[in-house]
Amino acid sequence: MKTSLQSRDGGSGGRGTLPPALTFLRNASWLTPTRALGGCAGLAILSAALIVNAVISAPSGMAANGHLLAPDFVTFYGASSFLPAGHAATVYDHTAFIARLQALFPHGKPGDYAFLYPPGFLFVCLGLSTLPYMAALVLWLGATLLRCWPPCAGWCRRASGCWPRWPTRRC
């Protein structure tokens, strides 16, 4: 049984064919393993460059417009500041949470953030507020990269037959 896309792509479904541009993208005969790896590498380099740019251009963690960098991370950092004093439940008090963010970032515009994550996620955030904001952000992004590397490397290894197990080892 053909799907509606299969029938639109020259099947006998009677709906006509896809435009050539969509057929080109759908078939993806142009997407070789080398091109896929090149695209992934390009996106990784672009992401790293944007992170470095953010750290250099806003070392205090605030952009030129007064807003904080990495708005999702602001909630993690703010939540971690409640934990050393033993006030974990206060993380879910919106008024107290906003007041804490304003105390942490007095010159910024922290916005209307809220910690909307399950209580178990507080263990992940535990030590973040012991570091300055930008140091904690770089640590968070670095840990994310290290956590994402093994699955991405495995996918690329399967796609191309050869990919380094770690950035310093080549196959």
Domains identified in the chain, total number: 1
Is 2 domain-assigned? no
- The residue range of the domain holding 97 is 33-160
Print pLDDT tens along the chain (171 aa).
444 444 444 444 446 688 888 888 788 787 777 777 777 778 778 878 887 888 888 887 787 777 788 888 889 999 999 988 888 899 999 999 999 988 988 877 767 788 999 999 999 998 898 999 888 988 888 788 777 777 776 666 666 665 555 555 555
Rounded (10°) CA dihedral 132, 134, 138, 140: 60
How many Å apart are CA 65 and CA 3, to the nearest integer?
Answer: 49
Is 15 domain-assigned? no
Is 25 domain-assigned? no
